[in-house]
Amino acid sequence: MMFQDVRAVYFDLDDTLCGYWDAAKAALRETFELHPIPGYTTDEMTLHWAAAFRVFGADLKASGWYEQYCRTGEPTRNEQMRLTLERVGIADATLTKALGDTYARIRDERLTLFPDALEVLDVLREKGYPMGLITNGPADIQRQEAQTLGIESYFNPILIEGEMGFGKPIPEVFARALAAHSLEPHQTLMVGNSYKHDILPAIEAGWRTAWIRKPSDIPPSATGDAKPEELPAGSPAPDVEIRDLKEILPLLGL
């Protein structure tokens, strides 16, 4: 049994337990359908949003937005919409805010757990495994997501980038998670969809790792030919790659 020593399981949230990218893509489409931009199709506006994101979202820390972003998702979300409109020659603060608000509302409405998630969380809870959540993103958005999905009560601790002021892959995040359960690193399993943010730092901390990889794991800001993240050449492999969260249960002997 691969994970026989594991005594606690930590999960990433977005695109590990729930389909955040799918919710974001649906919300973008619906936002530009509800607020049509004259002369541009919904698809064209979504591509403009993606192009703006690839510049703006790439380095929030260097651009001075990071502190605000940690507290709340609204300022960067609206700035992202302002930059999108700027690309099509529109400067309109009211429309900018309407687009940002609509996008946030619909994204939350469309957010759902993956079909395999609840069953796995229920089994682990029933078997007495402590579970934690380690998630990057603004404090208010990440709390809202956990509440919308109804999964807060499964996890202690819930470690959110926005609340800590730093996030994965910084080693301190994993040190905090480990300290919460007085366990050795090899007794802790990290389950996540991002090699760079979830898996590599957990391997470097001495944790066990399960990399969940789904074909849908492509962000809305990606270019049209983008593929899901691959294991970088020369990087250490996770203990296991999975397609479905249920695959971890037999590895734990459950």
Angstrom distance (rounded) from CA 124 to CA 154: 9
Work out the angle at residue 51's Cα, subtended by the Cα atoms of residues 17 and 35, and round it to the nearest 5 degrees: 80
Tokens of 158: 């819930």
Instruction: Specify the residue, 188 or 193, whose C-beta has the smaller distance to Mg ion.
Output: 193
Single-letter amino acid code for the residue at 60 = L
Q: What is the number of the residue whose Cβ is closest to Mg ion? A: 14
Q: Least distance (Å) from Mg ion to the CB of residue 194?
A: 5
User: How many angstroms separate the CA atoms of 103 and 140, rounded?
Assistant: 15
- Shortest distance in whole angstroms from residue 115 CB to Mg ion: 17
Write down the least CB distance from residue 219 to Mg ion, Å: 10
Residue with Cβ nearer Mg ion (99 or 141): 141
Nearest residue to 9 (alpha-carbon basis) of 217, 197, 180: 180
| CB closer to Mg ion, 100 vs 137 | 137
Q: What residues contact residue 115 under an 8 Å CB cut-off, 6+ apart?
A: none
Question: Of 32 and 132, which has the nearer Cβ to Mg ion?
Answer: 132
Contact set with Mg ion (CB under 5 A):
12, 14-15, 193
Q: To the nearest whole angstrom, how small is the minimum distance from the Cβ of residue 245 to Mg ion?
A: 13
Query: 181 near 155, Cβ under 8 Å?
Result: no
